[in-house]
Amino acid sequence: MRLFPRVLTAALLALPLALVASPPAQAADPTTLTSGFYVDPNSSPALWVAATPSDGRAPAVRDNVATKPMARWFGNWSGTIGTATGAYVGAADARDKLPVLVAYNIPNRDICGGHSGGGAGSVTTYNEWIAAFASGIGTRPAVVILEPDSLGDTSCMTAAQIAERNSLLNNAITQFNQKAPNTWVYLDAGNPGWRSATTMAANLNAAGLSRAHGFSLNVSNYYTTAQNITYANAVNAALSASSGYTRPFVVDTSRNGNGSNNGEWCNSAGRKIGTPSQKGGGAEMLLWIKTPGESDGNCGVGAGSVAGQFLPEVAYKMVYGY
């Protein structure tokens, strides 16, 4: 989706208990093992503020973006992946905070959109990478958003490529269940404007959602929290009807303060930061998964940039919504 490094709802609680399958047994709820979400001191906005303290935009970016909890993205730019995830989770654990990590390295990444194309070069390479990712976390508490775009960005893929992707995601969930028992894994489910709820439910089930904790929505997009809750409930209704279970979900609220601009996803103008990371809010959690100010690619208000590049003017304008 276009980037690099970068409590169930009341409706679900109303479902018959027989339809609400429990997530796989894990050692503990990671949110109960920590005192809040981790604020990354090395996020791109934090590093920009530290490097340019005299910039007139720095106070607004510092107070409204850089000091907020947000996810750290990991991919083929991250070096030795087990070392990278281990260091990040270790830093959070030392502060008794809950880190949010994004795994973004699946082969044929962003295959249809193209702005963040790439990923691991082979099935073997990815399977080794994701196993090391999980091993780096170990038993420490964490949240992982698993492969944004992977189940929405399939319109240009062959049946064989889709089958391969499902196999990779199923294996990834297995690796986290075995190696990172205090991690909640959310399999990415795109956004309300991408795939129908019925199609997404089928895609999630084929990719192994029944063995993951939940699913994520709106990563790097702008749809309102209310729109995402409605969509999530429809996905869960389709899951319960077709597969006999539902799952909790999280929503990326990092850039949805003004909602979507007619579905435009690539550096859309006039967007605004949304509700900072928290538990509840209509989903299991509202999270800043995309870093506000990081480009989606050479498009929109990020023309001339590359995916993941921090654009201070974009971050500044997102604070005020213009």
Residues involved in catalysis: 149
Question: How many whole angstroms separate alpha carbon 56 and alpha carbon 52?
Answer: 9
Q: How does strand 278-279 pair with strand 214-217?
A: unpaired
Coil, helix or strand for 162?
A: helix
Question: How many whole angstroms separate alpha carbon 55 and alpha carbon 318?
Answer: 17
Task: Find, among 131, 33, 65, 140, the residue nearest to 319 by Cα.
Answer: 65
C-alpha distances in angstroms, 294 versus 40, 60, 100, 192, 266? 15, 16, 17, 22, 11
Instruction: Classify the C-alpha dihedral 209-97-286-136 as positive or negative.
Output: negative
Query: 103: which strand partners?
Result: 74, 146
**CB count, 10 Å around CB of 29?**
12
